[in-house]
Amino acid sequence: MRRWWQNLRETTVEHAPWELFCMRGFLAWVLWRMLPGTVPFTAQPFPGGLARLADLTFLSDPPVFAVLRGLALVALPLYVLGVAPLLSLGYLAALLTAVGALENSQGAIGHHLQLLCLVTLAQWLAYAAAALRPPPGASRGLGLPAAAAHGRAVQAAKLMIAAAYVASGWTKLIASQGLWVAQLPDISLQLVKTHANVYYDYYGLPGAPAALVTDLPRLIAGHPWLTRLAFTPGLLLELGAVLALTGRRAACFVGLGLLGMHVLARVVMELGFVTHEWLLLIFFINIPWLVCTALRRWRGLAA
């Protein structure tokens, strides 16, 4: 008799065409939201990523970036409609990655674009693989890919999201030499530092409630085991993110858990990962599917 854990394996969910369309639409909206109106960086003193290979400061030229941003307005609807994703999605991935590389070449590393760029690139690679090895009856080319290609792209996005969270969890353990849980009470100092940074970044504006700035760090430092009990589930969720690849319901539950972790981090530490939250909502939680499932069950109960 097989144990339940022996049945855990990657499952490619057969999403309906309307689900895939909604996912592309929501992702396009996030891509547009995260694409800045202008790029203020005129130098790359600490080049990283693509900036090591090319000078990306041309993005700071307003007329040039206005043209590039205008082309994104053409690429986005094409991607949503599933037209020429190798070109439309490829352009969006290249532009956003270049913007992120230039931003991260200023001496401080940000993470708000990292996962979004990785997901976009993963989807592009899935479309490229489908174009190179099309399913029987489909033709090679850059135009309308077979329906299966859109499913592969969504699966690639899920794989990348899960891999990113697992990598984040293992990084915590490696950087702390396995002592991350034991060192959790030290987060009280990080809380004070984070709230101070936010206060001085937005001097003169209302800050976080006093309970978060002073009382919570004292509570964390004074009750180390309570702190470990409260924060350790976040680490376990990151390490177990691969379970989201085993099916719809697993992806939904893992996505909700990780989303709750991000909401808690935003409330307690004023650390927001908006793109991560949207990616979880789009590919793991899948709000349109949840709504349709709830409506079907409600109609079934009402019948």
Q: What is the overall mean pLDDT for the chain?
A: 84
Report, as an integer, the average pLDDT of 266-293: 88
- Average pLDDT (124-144) is 72
- Return the pLDDT at 205: 46
Q: How many helices (H) and strands (E) does the chain have?
A: 12, 0
- Looking only at Cα atoms, what is the longest distance across the chain? 66
Rounded CA-CA distance 94/83 in Å is 17
- Above 70 in pLDDT, residue 89? yes
Q: Residue 176 pLDDT > 50, yes or no?
A: yes
More confident residue, 301 or 27: 27
Give tens-digit pLDDT for 193-238. 565 555 555 554 445 555 555 666 666 666 677 777 777 888 899 9
Write down the domain spans for the chain: 16-175+240-302
Report pLDDT for 254. Answer: 95
pLDDT of amino acid 201:
52
Q: What confidence category does residue 131 fall into, taking pLDDT thresholds of 50, 70 and 90? A: confident
User: Per-residue pLDDT for 123 more than 70?
Assistant: yes
pLDDT band at 22 (very low <50, low <70, confident <90, very high): very high
Average pLDDT over residues 34-57: 92
Percent of the chain whose pLDDT exceeds 70: 79
**pLDDT value, residue 298:** 82
pLDDT reported for residue 302: 60
Of 201, 219, 200, 199, nearest to 209 by C-alpha is 199
- Output the pLDDT for position 164: 96
Q: What is the rounded distance in angstroms from the CA atom of residue 120 to the CA atom of residue 134?
A: 20
Residue 5 pLDDT > 70: no
Answer yes or no: is pLDDT of 136 > 50. Answer: yes
pLDDT band at residue 148 under the 50/70/90 scheme: confident
Interval 90-120: pLDDT, tens: 999 999 999 999 999 998 788 889 999 999 9
Alpha helical stretches, state H, 202-247: 210, 216-222, 224-239
Q: How many CA atoms lie within 13 A of 180 on its CB side?
A: 16
Q: What is the pLDDT of residue 44?
A: 92
Higher pLDDT, 289 or 147: 289
Burial annotation 149-187 (CB, 10 A radius, 16+ → b, else e): bbbbbbbbbbbbbbbbbeebbeebeeeeeeebbeebbeb
Q: Are 41 and 35 in contact (CB under 8 A)?
A: no
